[in-house]
């Protein structure tokens, strides 16, 4: 009888208590282009081939299949950051270039928006412009990713290509406006990264960023030192014109290079000789001076979101330039950005240690062009010149090796993405909602479930 009474008392207590005694939060870290090749590049350089990254110590690991469709809904096997970030943010499978909109160009609600509506605080951090596709897809909705500012939404040139803009997204046409306008007037509590130029268009009657920000009652930061303080209310920090400069670069700014081929080899590639590119050492990028690190932005964002907050938060953090430097065939740039991702993850893990109901997920949006190839070639004993038809960087590693990175997906200035499935990492909280193999849209579902949000 006594045990029955005790059980009844315990049940009453359980039912009357809030389900979560402490705040419940999700920190989603997206390494742009951070496929297994880049994970390995980072490990080989930062920890040595026999070492491990902080990422590698996470207890949940899996793989994520990327899905993309063309305008007819047929499968495409390689994505861009817009459609993949939209899948992560909204669960929709959509077309290349779409931000927060599905294949039919319809606005789809994001996990960040659902969290905000439910009383969670929300944040976006990126080393790219905060209006770039990956961060934007969590709180903005436009048909074409290049509609970043009140100027570009009218069309123009991006990546050397003329485009029509997003007429259906213009405020005057009943749309939500450009990405910058949507972010500035959103309910996102903290937005940190690059991209000031997209908030301050230099023409006509368009509102400026500061105007946008001030109108909405936002504290506007532009200096790394600002992140040492704390500020009430909404905060937007923009620390560079567009993408933030990266932390590392190749010695003398060198990136991957073509072989130097002798005239005989130009006549027939099985004869003559080729000269390998000189070895590159990674060094600090002087342009990074004065920039806040991704670690500093992460720390500020977590502090801002967790202060006086019993409910919890949703924060997405993008380490953008793994991809951006891979497009430019710059392995040291990518590796320095991976070092930034690791430092950001460390801050998140420290927070999670003190706040148990914190799910940390690290994943990538899509694969990228880099390949680690043998140095020297596997066929070094052949009596003919063997070399990549693309461009190659030979990176000296701190442990005394030479890591040879091949970029050979196309002939122009910017490499292609690849369609490989991407890695998934999470802290132990991930066990409750993640599986070893998922599609990108499932990550959205998992985050919604973790935050107990309705679809």
Catalytic residues: 81
Q: HSE-up of 327 (CA within 13 Å, CB side)?
A: 13
Helix (H) or strand (E) holding 122: strand 121-129
Q: Which stretch binds its own copies (CB under 8 A): 26-34, 280-288, 315-323, 376-384?
A: 376-384
Tokens of 257: 């290079």
Which of these ranges, 10-18, 168-176, 293-301, 415-423, lies near its own copies under the rule CB under 8 A? 415-423
Is 350 near its own copies (CB under 8 A)? no
Site for its own copies in 260-279 (CB under 8 A): 269-270
- Dihedrals phi, psi of 72, to nearest 5 degrees: -95, 5
Binding of residue 387 to its own copies (CB under 8 A)? yes
Kindly state the number of chain residues that form the binding site for its own copies, as judged by CB under 8 A. 81
> Which 8-state DSSP code applies to residue 218?
E
Distance of alpha carbon 176 from alpha carbon 179, whole angstroms = 8
> Measured from the CB of residue 11, what is the shortest distance to its own copies in angstroms?
27
Nearer residue to its own copies within complex by CB, 306 or 388 = 388
Binding segment for its own copies among 16-24, 169-177, 221-229, 396-404 (CB under 8 A)?
396-404
Q: Which residues pair with 407 in a beta bridge?
A: 391
The CA distance from 68 to 84, in Å, is 8
Cα dihedral 264, 269, 272, 273 sign: positive
Among residue numbers 99 through 118, which ones bind its own copies (CB under 8 A)? none
The binder of its own copies chosen from 214, 283, 375, 453 (CB under 8 A): 375
Query: From the CB of 441, what's the least distance to its own copies, in Å?
Result: 9
As separate numbers, helices (DSSP H) first and strands (DSSP E) second, the chain gives 13, 24
Q: Which of 324, 418, 433, 446 binds its own copies (CB under 8 A)?
A: 418
Return d(Cα 249, Cα 395) in angstroms, integer: 11
Does residue 339 touch its own copies according to CB under 8 A? Answer: no
Positions in 432-451 near its own copies (CB under 8 A): 436-437, 439
Q: Name which position in 209, 302, 417, 446 contacts its own copies (CB under 8 A).
A: 417
For tokens 């490990």, name the residue. Answer: 43
CB nearer to its own copies: pick between 53 and 305: 53
**For its own copies, the closer CB: 356 or 419:** 419
> How many of the other CB atoms lie within 10 Å of CB of 389?
10
Residues in the chain: 455
Q: Which residue has the tokens 């230099």?
A: 202
User: Of 179 and 259, which CB lies nearer to its own copies in the complex structure?
Assistant: 259
**Residue 249 Cα distances to 30, 321, 336, angstroms:** 21, 12, 8
Round to whole Å and give the CA distance between 246 and 283: 11
Residue (156 or 253) nearer to its own copies, CB: 156
Long-range contacts from 199-203, C-beta under 8 angstroms, 24+ separation:
199/131, 199/149, 199/238, 201/149, 201/150, 201/151, 202/151, 203/151
> Which of 130-138, 314-322, 351-359, 382-390 is the region at the interface with its own copies (rule: CB under 8 A)?
382-390
Alpha helix locations (H) across 313-451? 321-327, 331-354, 440-450
Cβ-based nearer residue to its own copies, 218 or 403: 403
Interface of this chain with its own copies, residues 37 to 76, rule: CB under 8 A: 37, 39-40, 43-44, 48-50, 52, 56-63, 65-68, 74-76
Among 200, 423, 433, 450, binds its own copies (CB under 8 A): 423
Min separation Cβ 8 and its own copies, Å: 26
Under rule CB under 8 A, which residues in 120-159 are in contact with its own copies?
A: 159
Q: Which is nearer to its own copies, 102 or 226 (CB)?
A: 102
Site string for its own copies, 153-172 (x = CB under 8 A): ------xxx-x---------
Q: Which is nearer to its own copies, 210 or 394 (CB)?
A: 394
Q: What is the DSSP letter of 431?
A: G
Structure tokens at 35: 């496929």
Based on the shown chain and the rule CB under 8 A, indicate whether residue 372 belongs to the binding site for its own copies.
Answer: yes
Tokens 């891979």, residue located: 326
Q: Checking DSSP bridges between strand 75-76 and strand 234-238, what pairing results, if any? A: unpaired
Least distance between its own copies and beta carbon 141 (Å): 22
Query: What single-letter DSSP state applies at residue 398?
Result: T
Closest distance of CB 122 from its own copies, Å: 29
Q: Is 302 in the site for its own copies (CB under 8 A)?
A: no
- Site for its own copies (CB under 8 A): which residue of 305, 341, 420, 448? 420
Token pair for residue 402?
Answer: 């030479």
The C-alpha atoms of residue 393 and residue 388 are separated, in whole angstroms, by: 11
Cβ nearer to its own copies, comparing 77 with 230: 77
Among 216, 386, 396, 453, binds its own copies (CB under 8 A): 386
* Tokens 């976006």 found at: 124
Asked whether the CA dihedral 138, 363, 368, 52 is positive or negative, the reply is: positive
Taking only Cα atoms into account, the Rg of the chain, rounded to an integer number of angstroms, comes to: 23
């Amino acid at each position: 009888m006594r045990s029955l009474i005790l059980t009844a008392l315990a049940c009453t207590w359980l039912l009357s208590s809030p389900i979560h005694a402490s705040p419940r939060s999700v920190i989603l870290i997206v390494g742009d282009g951070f496929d297994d090749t880049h994970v390995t590049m980072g490990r080989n350089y930062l920890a040595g081939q026999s070492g491990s990254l902080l990422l590698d110590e996470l207890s949940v690991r899996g793989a994520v299949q990327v899905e993309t469709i063309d305008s007819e809904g047929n499968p495409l096997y390689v994505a861009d950051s817009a459609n993949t970030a939209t899948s992560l943010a909204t669960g929709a499978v959509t077309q290349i270039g779409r931000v927060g909109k599905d294949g039919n160009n319809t606005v789809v609600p994001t996990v960040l928006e659902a969290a905000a509506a439910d009383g969670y605080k929300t944040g976006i951090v990126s080393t790219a412009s905060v209006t770039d596709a990956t961060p934007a897809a969590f709180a903005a909705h436009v048909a074409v990713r290049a509609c970043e500012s009140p100027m570009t939404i009218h069309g123009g040139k991006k990546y050397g290509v003329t485009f029509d803009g997003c007429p259906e997204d213009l405020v005057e046409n009943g749309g939500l406006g450009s990405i910058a306008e949507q972010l500035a007037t959103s309910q996102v509590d903290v937005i940190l990264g690059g991209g000031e130029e997209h908030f301050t268009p230099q023409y006509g009657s368009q509102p400026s960023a500061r105007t946008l920000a001030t109108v909405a009652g936002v504290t506007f930061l532009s200096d790394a030192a600002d992140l040492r303080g704390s500020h009430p209310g909404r905060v937007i920090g923009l620390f560079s014109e567009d993408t933030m400069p990266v932390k590392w670069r190749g010695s003398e700014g060198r990136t991957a290079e073509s072989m130097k081929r002798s005239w005989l080899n130009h006549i027939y590639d099985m004869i003559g000789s080729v000269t390998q590119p000189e070895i590159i050492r990674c060094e600090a990028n002087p342009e990074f001076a004065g920039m806040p690190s991704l670690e500093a932005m992460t720390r500020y964002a977590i502090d801002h979101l967790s202060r006086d907050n019993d409910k919890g938060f949703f924060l997405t953090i993008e380490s953008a330039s793994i991809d951006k430097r891979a497009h430019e065939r710059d392995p040291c740039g990518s590796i320095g950005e991976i070092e930034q991702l690791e430092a950001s993850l460390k801050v998140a893990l420290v927070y999670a240690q003190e706040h148990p109901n914190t799910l940390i997920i690290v994943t990538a949006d899509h694969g990228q062009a880099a390949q680690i190839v043998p140095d020297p070639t596997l066929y070094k004993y052949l009596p003919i010149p063997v070399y990549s038809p693309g461009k190659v960087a030979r990176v000296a590693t701190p442990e005394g090796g030479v890591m040879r990175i091949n970029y050979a997906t196309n002939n122009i200035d910017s490499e292609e993405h690849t369609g490989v499935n991407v890695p998934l990492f999470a802290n132990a909280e991930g066990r409750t909602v993640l599986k070893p193999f998922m599609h990108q849209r499932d990550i959205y579902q998992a985050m919604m479930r973790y935050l107990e949000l309705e679809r």
